[in-house]
Structure formats: structure tokens, C-alpha cells
Structure 1
């Protein structure tokens, strides 16, 4: 009985520590991204499909970017250099433009609440990735053979896909899936599709059973 009590106390303490860590990390993210908050909220609304045609806008932007890359057809190192240069320029110049365009007086409590929720989701994502990395390292230490088998199969599959499918097309599909995932989750499309499939399957079973009964009667 004492063992169960101690285990439950340990579990409770771990949960409290994780909750405190999440709150602390959320505050850190809010502080570090405070300059970008006026940009992050519209981007978040776009990714979560707050408006009717947001999914089409995401699809059009990503398709246009990859179409330009396809037309220019730069070498890999040139493309990587251009991406890094773009990121550096945005990181340096964008905050200056944001401070000029957006004024602190226009920041409302509603926006602050949305910004806090966004930072909480970012902290949750960080925590989830950290947890998955810890599981992988734990598997590497405790089940090295399984770690080797799973890692080899996964990497061989990636190498096979990269060999058989055009890399630019593969990058386009991966980018499109990543950018559309928040909207799909927000609209709960996966659960709706699953429910539709289950309903179709159940209706099909009912029709088949009804047809079989008619055959038996005849």
C-alpha cells in the first residue's frame, strides 16, 4: 500500500514539475517573440484556416514558391545560401518594420490572450519533441538492437523515396503537408473523415446483411 502511495506521489510530482516547466517556458517564449507578435497572430490564423479561403491561399503561396524554384533551378548550395540569406534579412530588417507599422497602443487584451495561447502551443510542441527525443535516446540505451532495426528501416525507406521520387516534388509535398496540418487539426477534418468512412462501412454492412436476408427468404 505504501508502494502505491509513493508511486502516486512521484507521478503527481512529475506532473506538477512538467506543468511548472511548461508555464515557465511559455513565459520565456512570450518574452522572446514579443517583437513578432503582430506578425505571428495573422500567420497563425492563416495556418489554422480561420477564414474560408485560407487553405487555398497556403496552397497557392507554397506552389508559387516551388514553381519559382523549379523555373530558376538553382544548385543545392545556392538554394541553401539564398534561404539562409532570406532568413537573416528577415530576422534583422523585419523587427524594424514591425515597430514602425504596428503600435503598442493597438495591442488589445483579446490579442494578448490569443498570443498567450499560441505561445502555450509552441511550448507544448517543444515539450512533445523533447519527450520523443528522450524516448529515442532511452531506446538506444536500453534496446539497442530494436533501435538499430527501426532506425535502419526508417532511413532506408527515406533513401528509397528520395531515390525514386523527385526531391523538389518531395520537398513540395512535405512542406504542403506541414503547413496544412494545423488547419486540418483545427477543423477536425481527420475525425470527420474517419466518421464518414465508418458510417459508409456500417451502411455497406447493413445493405449486405439485408441483401443476404432477401436471398434466404427467396
Structure 2
């Protein structure tokens, strides 16, 4: 498994060769290496979605503009980065950073694959739990989608997704996750003890 991950890491690194300087900058922003980066992420996301809200393009137009942006970026970014960043500016430390980034991406990808595989295996091993969880989740999502504006939901989802790497890197998710789980365990203990007191 480790050998396979290393092969995937190497392939990913090779595919990002022309984007390597941009990848390091994006990684730095997503991990909030400067104090103003979270504000920049929220501001950039808000600006993008405000434009979508004001212009109100159709789904086909939005997909076309997104595809056009990706295609033009794929063509222009390597040309621009090769002109701005000289090959001699690429150091061993930067190369190690890029390898670590690729390794993390491959690790998250494999974790996601394992999680989805376990979820679908639950269909055979614990069908009641699988169908109950799936049906309740879909009903909840349908209710949320019907109650709130789709563009606003997409904005919240994308902004949260962009903030997660920084939240995880700075230990905020772990800190508040632990606090919430402690509160829930205290609450469940109180609930279990309260009927005994009444008797």
C-alpha cells in the first residue's frame, strides 16, 4: 500500500510540474500561513458568489465559464510561471514541500476511498443502518435544499471547504471537536443517571 501511494505521489508531482509554484502559494493560503489569509479566502469566495448572484447566469453558462477558465488557465499558467519564476529559483526545500503536499493529497484520496468503500459495504453487513442513515440524510438534504437558496448553500459549502485545511492545520477542528464530544458525553451521562435519581 505504501509503495502504491508513493507511485501515486510521484505521478501527481510530475503532473503538477508546470503548476508547482502556484501549488505552493495555494497551499500556503489554505493553511493560513499569514494572519490575513482566512479573510482573503472568505473575501474571494464572497466576491465570486456575489458576482454569480448579481449576474444570475444559467447553469449551462456557469459550467461553460468554469470550463473556459480552467482551459485558459491550463494553457496560460505554465507560460506565465516559467516567465516569472526562473528554474534556478526552485530549491530543494520547495521540492520537498511539493512532495509533502502531493503525499497529503494522495493520503486524503485513499482515506476517502476507504470511507466510501466501508459505507457501501455496510449495505451488506448492516442494511438497516445503511438504509436508515441514507434515507434520513437524503430527507434532511432535501429539506435544507427546499428551505434555503441554492446559491447561498453552495457559497457556504465552498467557503467551508476552503477553510477546513486551515482549521485543521491550526488545531481548531480538533479543539472544538473534543469540546463538543466531551459535552455530549457529559450530557449522555446525565441522561443515564437522571432516571436512577427519580427512582
Is this a same-fold pair by TM over 0.5?
Answer: yes
- Report the counterpart of residue 58 of structure 1 in structure 2: 41
Among 27, 33, 38, the residue aligned to 2:21:
38
- Report the counterpart of residue 133 of structure 1 in structure 2: 116
Of structures 1 and 2, the larger Rg is shown by 1
In 1: Cα distance, 2:142 partner to 2:175 partner: 33
TM-score (norm 1): 0.77
Shift of 1:99: 2.1
Q: Does 1:68 align with 2:67?
A: no
- Report the counterpart of residue 146 of structure 1 in structure 2: 129
Among 154, 157, 176, the residue aligned to 1:174:
157
In 2: Cα distance, 1:125 partner to 1:95 partner: 26
TM-score (norm 2): 0.84
In 2: Cα distance, 1:67 partner to 1:195 partner: 35
RMSD in angstroms over aligned alpha carbons?
2.2
Shift of 1:20: 1.7
In 2: Cα distance, 1:129 partner to 1:198 partner: 23
| Paired positions, count | 183
In 2: Cα distance, 1:140 partner to 1:192 partner: 33
Structure 2: where are the runs of 5+ without partners? Answer: 183-199
Shift of 1:52: 1.2
User: Which aligned pairs between 1:1-218 and structure 2 lie closer than 5 A?
Assistant: 18-193=1-176
